[in-house]
Copies of this chain bind each other. A is one copy, B any other.
Amino acid sequence: MNNILRKDADFIVKQAIKAVQPDAAVQRALKGKEFAGRVVLVAAGKAAWQMAKAAYNCLGTRIEKGVVVTKYNHVMGPIGNFTCLEGGHPVPDENSFLATQAAIDLVSGLQPQDTVLFLLSGGGSALFEKPLIPGEELQHITNQLLACGADIVEMNTVRKRLSAVKGGRFAQLCAPAQVFSIVLSDILGDPLDMIASGPAYPDTSTGAQAWDIVKKYGLVLSLRAQACLDDETPKSLPNTTTQVTGSVRQLCSAAASACETLGYEPIILTDRLACQAKEAGSMLASILKTHGQENKKIAFLAGGETVVQLTGKGLGGRNQELALAAAPGIAELAGAAVFSVGSDGTDGPTDAAGGYVDSTTQSTLQAKGINVHEVLNQNDAYHALQACDGLIITGPTGTNVNDVAVALLHR
């Protein structure tokens, strides 16, 4: 039985991660999509090269030209006639600005029937930027915001107004052409105005709010920067269509589909998990115990990004802690397993993607003199899971859309 469960877990992990690869995600978003006029491509972010490559594989020379902006050492080779550029991350540099200008030039002079295929991934905030004030002052304002303890929403509200491409402005620059935006989301809940500061998404914040923040913290701004605050960002972008793909939501639904393939009834509890890793593991075990009497194969799924409470100096990661913490709760619950993986294949500072436990784990560890409670206090889940063949190793996966935890009941 537990061999079957482990095999099921490995299959589910593989399928889920496959579904959120940049190439798979872009292919899915482009499926059946047809374009009327000219098509040009702009890709920005850490996964820009993979996304552009996937789009090129789908559409080939239907894409007339392309500009790809990614971080240093992330261009893996030429893509058709696209211009592939690299820039600074996490701090933008002159190359980021030049690459962004190349993208702006590309989308100029298009007609209403034309389309800008805009591929966005995490890291785009630094890589895709054209400041409206000198870079030096932008850095000075950023430093002031950091020093006064402004939160990320406040920071973005001010900084979007100091950029020619953020807060929906890049989509404005594309007009009258259509923008078809494909977003690979690395933030829980897919806040589209936050991912890379939303170059092609309407901005919900206002200039008045930006002024409130400036006054609240007593920020020092040049007259030029002050004028920027008064220049409102777009509140609607009728030329833009956005498709989020490869987010934790897709990671969960791909895991759910894999569960279904194996005969489990999948129940996605949440894709916004943000609590303590080990407590989430305990709660998933509680859920399995309650449903343990039912005579059917069920899978409960929870995606998101848990946190680890550091109380020791061991080796582990949030996915390993989550899984291990479920072991005592499902001890002796035949047919039960809990596993959790990070979609990037790297859980904490380890070579494991996550952890797997089942009804035998607790007794296996006990027989080796390992106490789960103590291990968790030491944050040493890696070694405990290693001792019971509970590590899930995938290697780096080339994507990063948070984690998914699955609780299986096999009947």
Contact = CB atoms under 8 A, between A and B. Distances in A.
B279 A275 contact: yes
A283 B305 CA distance: 11
Chain A at the B interface: SS class: mixed
A304 B291 CA distance: 14
A89 B286 CA distance: 31
Contacts of A358: none
Interface string A265-304: 0001111111110011011001101110000000000101
Interface in A146-192: 189
A276 B276 contact: yes
A283 B273 contact: yes
Contact of A304 (B268, B273, B286): B286
A279 B284 CA distance: 12
Contact of A276 (B273, B279, B302): B279
A307 to B, nearest CB: 10
A283 B290 contact: no
| Copies of this chain in its oligomeric complex | 2
Contacts of A189: 289
Interface in A95-132: none
Contacts of A274: 282, 286, 329
A340 to B, nearest CB: 14
Interface residues of A, number: 22
A51 to B, nearest CB: 26
Contacts of A276: 276, 279, 282
Interface in A298-333: 302, 304, 329
Contact of A272 (B269, B271, B290, B304): B290
A321 B329 CA distance: 23
A275 B270 contact: no
A304 B276 CA distance: 19
Given A283-B280, A283-B283, A290 B268 contact: yes
A269 B270 contact: no
Contacts of A270: 283, 286-287, 289-291
A324 to B, nearest CB: 14
Interface string A79-106: 0000000000000000000000000000
Interface string A246-282: 0000000000000000000000111111111001101
With most chain B CB atoms within 10 A of its CB, the pick from A189, A268, A270, A271 is A270
21 contacts: A189-B289, A269-B286, A269-B290, A270-B283, A270-B286, A270-B290, A271-B290, A272-B286, A272-B289, A272-B329, A273-B283, A273-B286, A274-B329, A275-B280, A276-B276, A276-B279, A276-B282, A279-B279, A283-B283, A283-B302, A286-B302
Given A270-B290, A272-B289, A276-B282, 20 more contacts: A189-B289, A269-B269, A269-B287, A269-B290, A270-B286, A270-B287, A270-B289, A270-B291, A272-B286, A272-B329, A273-B283, A275-B279, A275-B282, A275-B286, A276-B276, A279-B279, A279-B280, A280-B283, A283-B283, A286-B304
Sorted nearest first, the 7 A-B pairs with minimum C-beta distance are A279-B279, A275-B282, A270-B286, A270-B290, A272-B286, A275-B279, A272-B289
